[in-house]
Amino acid sequence: MKIIFKIWRYDPQKDVKPYYQDYQIEVKEGMTILDCLYYIKENIDATLAFRASCRMGICGSCAMFIDKKPRLACETQALALGREVIEIAPLPNYKNIKDLVPDLTPLFEKHKKVNPYIVPDDEEEFLNPTGEYAQTPRELENYLQFAYCIKCGACLAACPTVGTNQEFPGPQALAQTYRYNTDNRDHGEGERKKIVDNPNGVWRCHMAGACAEACPKGVDPALAIQLLKKSFFIAFRKPQARLIPKSNKKPAQGGIKSPEPTI
């Protein structure tokens, strides 16, 4: 099937304003939007700029505005959209660097601001571990869904609050705030709450739910934000992860030893 791709073009070094350029190609069954973009770049227009890396929905690099929705180009089947004309643009709510390449600096800055890492209770144990912290399957399930974030930026592109308030942390950072606050190995909950507890923080979310719909990994940032809000009013005691000391017992099978700690 022949499909026309209307692709956003913008080169700040020569273009006064962005414009759409049409490319018509033969699309075969199984071709993703990313496959089509590579075909256009390799066979029609080598100047086309876009980001991509893993091609398997893991790196998040190829997130773009496809057919009016934030999607991963590597996971979107071109024929499955059922259109003879497909419009592709960079993610909204970000500055445009060139063509389909957005400036994701705000995404990573907001993510970094909420301390997205496990804050230890015992720094000496953290630096010189004598064992490992154990979690039950239930304790893992408390945050596992929200740990699947690949930082593609699609949720910020879909969020109407991000589009009107640049101070708003956005669904990605708020979801990761809840993810680490819920991890029972972490002791940084109090500091993270101080960071997001302000008029432009977690309370600025109006629960549009667009972030949950846009997430390609099913993380559901909207749910995490509501649970984060709930945690400000309903205190729950987070069980502390158990420290299991290192064992000096000989390995059970054929002298196989576990690798040395990488910390």
In a domain, 256, yes or no: no
Residues 134 and 75 in one domain: no
Nearest CA-CA partner of 65 in 28, 22, 101, 107:
101
Q: Return the amino acid letter for 128.
A: N
Tell whether 261 is covered by a domain.
no
* Residues whose CB falls within 8 Å of the CB of residue 261, separated by 6 or more in sequence, listed in order: 129
Number of Cβ atoms within 10 Å of the Cβ of 234: 7
| Claim to verify: residue 97 and residue 128 sit in the same structural domain | no
Residue 5 sits at φ, ψ, to 5 deg, of -100, 115
- Are 21 and 88 members of one domain? yes
In this prediction the pTM is 0.90
- Name the DSSP letter for residue 254: T
- CATH code for position 95: 3.10.20.30
Among residues 102, 125, 143, which one ends one of the domains?
102
- At which of 102, 124, 159 does a domain end? 102
Quick one: which of 171, 165, 166, 179 has its CA closest to 153? 171
Query: Which structural domain range is residue 44 located in?
Result: 2-102
The helix/strand count (H/E) of the chain reads as 10, 9
pLDDT per residue, tens digit, the chain (263 aa), is: 999 999 999 999 999 999 999 999 999 999 999 999 999 999 999 999 999 999 999 999 999 999 999 999 999 999 999 999 999 999 999 999 999 999 999 999 999 999 999 999 988 988 888 888 989 999 999 999 999 999 999 999 999 999 999 999 999 999 999 999 999 999 999 999 999 999 999 999 999 999 999 999 999 999 999 999 999 998 777 888 889 888 777 655 666 677 787 76
Regarding whether 132 and 98 lie in a shared domain, the answer is no
Q: How many domains does the chain have?
A: 2
Long-range contacts of 163-166 (CB under 8 A, 24+ apart): 163/92, 163/93, 165/200, 165/204, 166/106
